[in-house]
Structure 1
Amino acid sequence: MSSTDARSWGRPADQAGSGWAVVDVETSGFRPGQARIVSVAALALSDDGNVEKSLYSLLNPGVDPGPTHVHGLTAEMLEGQPTFGDVVGDLIEVLRGRTLVAHNVGFDYAFLTAEAELVQAELPVETVMCTVELARRLDLGLENLRLETLAAHWGVTQMRPHDALDDAMVLAQILKPVLVRAQEHRKWLPVHPVSRRTWPNGRVTHEELRPLKVVAARLPSRYANPGRFVPGRPLVQGMRVAVAAEVNHTHEELIERILQAGLAYAESVDAHTSLVVCDAAAPEQGKGFQAGELGVPLIGGTDFLRLLGVVVGGTAVEEFTDPDDPDDQLALF
């Protein structure tokens, strides 16, 4: 799956997937590649959230276990335990063909890939989903989105916080009602692709999660820009859409929908911007204000999502290019 494929960013909650792999790791520190994993738990779930297989193990990290007061694991407890290399094969089977899910997925995923690199293994992960971002989209009205707060909200008992297996089981139990609520409210799931970074010799050094805004702003549009949005008319593929700070939906969900519809995401506002999504009627700063200065139309988030129901097909960029003209070829990149 290409990280530059707009269709790979997010999907409707009612659209079938290939299942989930809920993971949690406890570590000796906070820097992947330097700190090590001291315990790992992974639960393979069906698309509707039922557990199908599981993996849990303490790990001998070969280094000081770090914050014992957090994870409760001492050097004596980890002595003689398996290494990551001993369990990576079983972990691969849990992950295979599923979207990796974690609470703050960037942390867990970074540590897993760093450990896999050390034993020259490659994890079969193409997409990930962060339950922090998913919970944020549901607008639950909670004080914070920590795992223990979500557990209390959904009535899930958390026995041992910061224990990898307990945290993974709690997250798996939370995931089921969260997915149901996302379907009921027609939300999009933040299922994001992962990208691979390599050195010039082609050796995989590590994989990383790119922020959606960064990738989306760099994606070349497949369609020519048809110009400004006209109120009362439909959206047209290729329109350049910016998102102001003053929106009630999360930026990530709006950007996913922009890409999926064949529109182009614009990180800044200029004369070529077709519209700006903004829930403030008269913004006094930022992209909404810039839109007013340039005469670019403002559309509220809810109205914008409604307009995405019918988007007119755009004109492919290739129709305007001559494959033998070097200048036209440069325009594609």
Structure 2
Amino acid sequence: MSSTAGHRWGRPADAPGSGWAVVDVETSGFRPGQARIVSIAALALSDDGNVEKSFYSLLDPGVDPGPTHVHGLTAEMLAGQPTFADVAGDLVEVLRGRTLVAHNVGFDYSFLAAEAEMVSAELPVETVMCTVELGRRLDLGLENLKLETLAAHWGVTQMRPHDALDDAMVLAQILKPVLVRAREHRKWLPVHPVSRRTWPNGRVTHDELRPLKAVAARTPCPYANPGRFVAGRPLVQGMRVALAAEVGHTHEELIERILHAGLAYTEAVDAHTSLVVCDDVPDQGKGYQAGELGVPLLSAPEFLRGLESVVGGADIEEFTDTSAADDQFTLF
């Protein structure tokens, strides 16, 4: 069941998409708009992960190249190379109509968006996906989710770490089996929308890439809160759902499903909370607070099963007092 909320966060791994653009950038520093991109690689992939086209270039950043010991690029090597403005058209053709994918996508996307703003170019990027978060959802049992760790896990050879082209090719090779595993385990892909970017005073602001919890907690639900969940009855759109720390799924994936189903995500446990998702009986935190307030607990597996048959809720508009329309008062 789809939510009528403004943003649509995430999608089932078996749902069709329009393809991927795997991107990696090496930079002269860490602050977009001040530090610059010194090399860039982008690979256009089909929805099932097969490479269709590619783009790679060193860039003359016009500033000191920064950590040469990391990316291996010196000022002499970059002098006379194309600028971002020179390659923007080629990059746009790889990105167009696809979801931008990167390992820690907030970093790469912010640098691309800042560079595009500086040359008055527009990135044709509507959605992004972070493979760090995707890897976190797959329960791989790895020590960490660094690119080199994932590469070793999937048997992908990494020749030159922190080389934009090599890192992009490694990520593209990893993405294909990752997508297969996500489909097999019925995971949701962390595909998130992006919106207009502005860079006042040389600083990047990209609210659309804030942590999902911060955005979801402020996203108004179009349905009235029907009250507490009752065991044995279905979930109802508008129910306010909190997540305890003690769950076996990532909070991001659960929040995506909450919003998609027309439920409301809340970070607080109070008298208005309909249920708390919690896999254990804790002695602290949100699960404990729920017990104190009599708020029902549901395990993550039970909650996910409940999401398959959510009952339609009452629209907020149904609570508008039409007799006082001239006064423009809305009763909730």
TM-score scaled by structure 1? Answer: 0.94
Instruction: Return the alpha-carbon distance in structure 2 between the equivalents of residues 18 and 127 of structure 1.
Output: 11
- Work out whether residues 194 and 210 of structure 1, in 8 Å CA contact, stay in contact via their aligned partners in 2: no
Partner of 1:169: 169
Secondary structure (helix, strand or coil) at the match of 1:309 reads helix
Instruction: Return the alpha-carbon distance in structure 2 between the equivalents of residues 194 and 87 of structure 1.
Output: 22
* CA distance 1:98–1:5, change in 2 (3 Å): farther
Secondary structure (helix, strand or coil) at the match of 2:321 reads coil
CA drift of 1:198 comes to: 4.8
- Within 5 Å, give how 1:243-322 maps onto structure 2: 243-281=243-281, 283-322=282-321
- Work out whether residues 114 and 199 of structure 2, in 8 Å CA contact, stay in contact via their aligned partners in 1: no
CA drift of 1:293 comes to: 1.0
Instruction: Return the alpha-carbon distance in structure 2 between the equivalents of residues 58 and 248 of structure 1.
Output: 42
Instruction: Return the alpha-carbon distance in structure 1 between the equivalents of residues 297 and 197 of structure 2.
Output: 38
* CA distance 1:205–1:322, change in 2 (3 Å): farther
Residue 326 in structure 1 maps to residue 325 in structure 2: no
CA drift of 1:141 comes to: 0.2
Partner of 2:242: 242
CA drift of 1:206 comes to: 5.3
Q: Which amino acid aligns with 1:194?
A: V
Partner of 2:24: 24
Secondary structure (helix, strand or coil) at the match of 1:290 reads helix
- Within 5 Å, give how 1:96-245 maps onto structure 2: 96-198=96-198, 207-208=206-207, 209-245=209-245
Instruction: Return the alpha-carbon distance in structure 2 between the equivalents of residues 48 and 119 of structure 1.
Output: 33
- Work out whether residues 246 and 279 of structure 1, in 8 Å CA contact, stay in contact via their aligned partners in 2: yes
Secondary structure (helix, strand or coil) at the match of 1:26 reads strand
Instruction: Return the alpha-carbon distance in structure 1 between the equivalents of residues 289 and 112 of structure 2.
Output: 42
TM-score scaled by structure 2? Answer: 0.94
Instruction: Return the alpha-carbon distance in structure 2 between the equivalents of residues 93 and 83 of structure 1.
Output: 17
CA drift of 1:309 comes to: 0.8
Partner of 1:65: 65
1:192-231 CA distance string (max 9 Å, x none): 011325599xxx9754412211111111111111100001
Secondary structure (helix, strand or coil) at the match of 2:217 reads helix
Question: What stretches of structure 1 of length at least 5 have no aligned partner?
Answer: none
Partner of 2:75: 75
- Work out whether residues 117 and 205 of structure 1, in 8 Å CA contact, stay in contact via their aligned partners in 2: no
Higher relative contact order (CA 8 A, sep 6+): 2
Question: What stretches of structure 2 of length at least 5 have no aligned partner?
Answer: none
1:176-200 CA distance string (max 9 Å, x none): 0000000000000000011325599
Secondary structure (helix, strand or coil) at the match of 1:23 reads strand
Q: Which amino acid aligns with 2:86?
A: D
* CA distance 1:8–1:227, change in 2 (3 Å): same
Work out the number of aligned pairs and report it.
Answer: 323
1:300-329 CA distance string (max 9 Å, x none): 111110111111111111111136143308
Secondary structure (helix, strand or coil) at the match of 1:195 reads coil
Secondary structure (helix, strand or coil) at the match of 2:117 reads helix
CA drift of 1:27 comes to: 0.3
Instruction: Return the alpha-carbon distance in structure 2 between the equivalents of residues 199 and 136 of structure 1.
Output: 31
- Work out whether residues 21 and 43 of structure 2, in 8 Å CA contact, stay in contact via their aligned partners in 1: yes
- Work out whether residues 113 and 206 of structure 1, in 8 Å CA contact, stay in contact via their aligned partners in 2: no
Q: Which amino acid aligns with 2:254?
A: L
Percent pairwise identity:
82
Secondary structure (helix, strand or coil) at the match of 1:8 reads coil
Instruction: Return the alpha-carbon distance in structure 2 between the equivalents of residues 163 and 40 of structure 1.
Output: 9
* CA distance 1:198–1:151, change in 2 (3 Å): closer
CA drift of 1:6 comes to: 5.2
- Within 5 Å, give how 1:9-48 maps onto structure 2: 9-48=9-48
